Chains A and B, each alone.
Chain A
Amino acid sequence: MQSFSGRLFVITLGALLLPSHAQAHAALITLGPVEAIEIHAGYDTGEAMRGAQIVVYAPDNPAQPWLTGTADDSGRFVFVPDGTPGRWAVQAREAGHGAMSYFIVEGGETTALLPAPAQYDPLQRLVMLASIVWGAIGTALYFRRPRQRERA
């Protein structure tokens, strides 16, 4: 659900604003790479969470959102954290569905905390489903037992 883009270029525009009378203005552009967080919000069916609402919580205030925004049609959202050290939380939600993910900023380094979003392949799902069905059959047979004994 969450991955990191390598670098994102941010353009800052600065203009010399001089008081009073007209003068020639020189526009300055500085380019610099920054580390950004890229979120891909989607469902386990493979569908993207189109237009999902994204809420980012900084480590120093987990109760108040640091940033809110909206994912694009592919469920993608990019933002640049301000470097506050600690565990950041990112939530994506849409119509009552959603998930939370985390990353850690420490000493200028950003590490993704992967809470292992359940991504099972069809075979794994089948085995999990079969185990539950088998458990149900076992339960059903267990509770049928006394009745069969009475009949016998």
Chain B
Amino acid sequence: MHIPDGILPVGLAISGWIATGGLVALSVKRIESRPDPRAGIPRAAMMTAVFFAASLIHIPVPPTSVHLMLSGLMGAMLGWYAIPAIAIGLFLQAVMFGHGGLTTLGVNGIILGLPALAAFALPRQANRTGSALVQSAAGFAAGAGAILFAVALFTTILLAGLPAHLDADAERVAILTLAVAHLPLALAEGLVVAAVLGFLRRVSPELAHAS
């Protein structure tokens, strides 16, 4: 789900940078307005490392393979801190392993950042109800929904930027195949987020709600 350099038209890449820049600025503003903005940084730093490493873990889903994304987990665990953490993680993935690219860093930031924010909002709403079942379901929906949301954004952006000289039908089929291959990943990441939030609620409720 990382779009590399040279795939998107320049206009889309620049729009992505502007959108991600705005999102990071908004996140930093929200973080600054917290009573102790530094308090969330240690967790954000560790989660950035987890997010960075996740892209190296490939899961074969014939005829293709997908890699872990964890944007749902990032959002649920970090809240607004997830946006700068994802931006830094994406930058490191691009420069160290060539996953994604620098020109497409903005677009990739949106593809993974917006689902993270959605995944942050959902469990927070559910936590107010107090029901454990609802909270677990919200955790699952946050993790799985983040993947589906990211796949939808990825597909829309790619189709919007499809150059005329490509065989559009063949590329559409390839994109759709890749999107379908992410369904098992959505299930897996939904379970991961539900399990992690459930664990945090049991051992340390204040940590689960810290974000």
Q: Which residues of A contact B (CB under 8 A)?
A: 43-45, 47, 50-51, 53, 55, 64-65, 68, 70, 91, 93-100, 117-118, 120, 125, 128-129, 132-133, 135-137, 139-141, 143-144, 146-147
Contacts and interface: CB of A to CB of B under 8 A. Distances in A.
Given A140-B41, A146-B38, A51 B170 contact: yes
Contacts of B38: 143, 146
A148 to B, nearest CB: 11
B97 A51 contact: no
> What 8 A-B pairs have minimum CB-CB distances, sorted nearest first?
A136-B49, A140-B42, A95-B174, A139-B45, A143-B41, A118-B98, A95-B178, A140-B45
Secondary structure at the B interface, as helix, strand, loop or mixed, is helix
A144 B49 CA distance: 17
Interface residues of B, number: 36
A91 B6 contact: yes
Interface in B22-49: 38-39, 41-43, 45-46, 48-49
A95 B171 contact: yes
Given A47-B65, A68-B165, A95-B174, A136 B48 contact: yes
A94 B45 contact: no
B106 to A, nearest CB: 15
Interface stretch (B51-59, B135-143, B193-201): B51-59
Contact of B174 (A64, A94, A137, A140): A94
A68 B174 contact: no
A95 B61 CA distance: 15
